[in-house]
Amino acid sequence: MTTAVYHGRAALNVRRGGMGDVTYLLLHGLGATGEVWQGLTGLIEQHNAGQWLVPDLRGHGRSPWGAPYTYESLADDLLPLIKDSGRVVVVGHSMGGVIALVLGGSQDNIEQIIGLGIKTRWRDEELARMQDLAERPVRWLTTREEAVERYLKVSGLIGLVEVESLCAQSGVANGDDDRYRLSADPGIYAVGEPPVAALVSTARCRVLLAAGEHDAMAGLEELKIIDPAATALAGLGHNAQVEDPTALWSLLH
């Protein structure tokens, strides 16, 4: 089921399903959409583990754009989803993992956070590149196929999902003039460097950081500086939740 959740200026597109006392909130990474969680939501239902909630974060997918984008404001958008949800487990990928940690520092009903593929070390030139991307105008493409190809490239999903899949198609939006763009607002790149260590230290719940063994963005040794129990998912890369959802499920159970 898909619903819109209104909070301030954000009317988030949210998919939901499953049944049970535990609610799993699944948060995608920068530039992606909630469709990257299809494998994990299937496992939650297969194991009758609980309810699941999958939003498109503000500025992404079928949710509206609305700067400024900060980790705190993106987390604040999600409060209506979980404030009356009882026991909550939050699984966040990359930027979504940072947002999960922000929530974990303020919400007492969150029992566990899994932060997957969070980049913890940023060079000045990387931050400058992110700011440059945020300030660029929207790039319009003449065909949907071109736009999907570009989305798969920037999201790191090339070769992991079929071009015609909902996961791939959800990253593209139509314009009024029969042109196409990525569904994500370029402004989201201005979100900045996350204070991961501080967020982990102030979380009120159990936190586990993890990354694919071959994740070039989130090195295990860097994660272990923050979380000595940080875990590597064997044979996987940055989008481990898409590559092998069962590996991520094993961290939850």
Residue at 140 is within a domain = no
Which runs of consecutive H residues, i.e. helices, occur in 83-143?
95-104, 124-135
Residue 11's pLDDT band (cuts 50, 70, 90): confident
55 inside domain: yes
Is 130 inside any structural domain? no
Does 186 reside within a domain?
no
CA 221 to chain centre: 22
Model pTM?
0.96
Token representation of residue 96: 């979504």
Structure tokens at 120: 């913890």
Cα separation values, 88 from 20, 49, 63, Å = 11, 12, 22
Q: Tens digit of pLDDT for each residue in 139-149?
A: 999 999 999 99
Count Cα neighbours of 163 within 13 Å in the Cβ-side half-sphere: 8
- The CATH number of the domain holding residue 231 is 3.40.50.1820
In a domain, 6, yes or no: yes
Residue-number span of the structural domain to which 248 is assigned: 2-121+191-252
In angstroms, what CA-CA distances link 32 with 10, 113, 172?
Answer: 17, 20, 10
pLDDT per position as a tens digit, 108-140: 999 999 999 999 999 999 999 999 999 999 999
pLDDT digits (tens, 9 = 90+) for 199-249: 999 999 999 999 999 999 999 999 999 999 999 999 999 999 999 999 999
Name the average pLDDT for the chain.
Answer: 95
Residue 102 CA: distances (Å) to CA of 10, 68, 78, 114, 203? 18, 17, 11, 12, 8
Q: Is residue 179 in a domain?
A: no
**Residue 200: how many CB atoms within 10 A of its CB?**
21
Looking at this protein, which amino acid is placed at residue 138? V
Q: What are the backbone dihedrals phi and psi of residue 62, each rounded to the nearest 5 degrees, phi first?
A: -95, 10
How many CB atoms are closer than 10 A to CB 47? 13
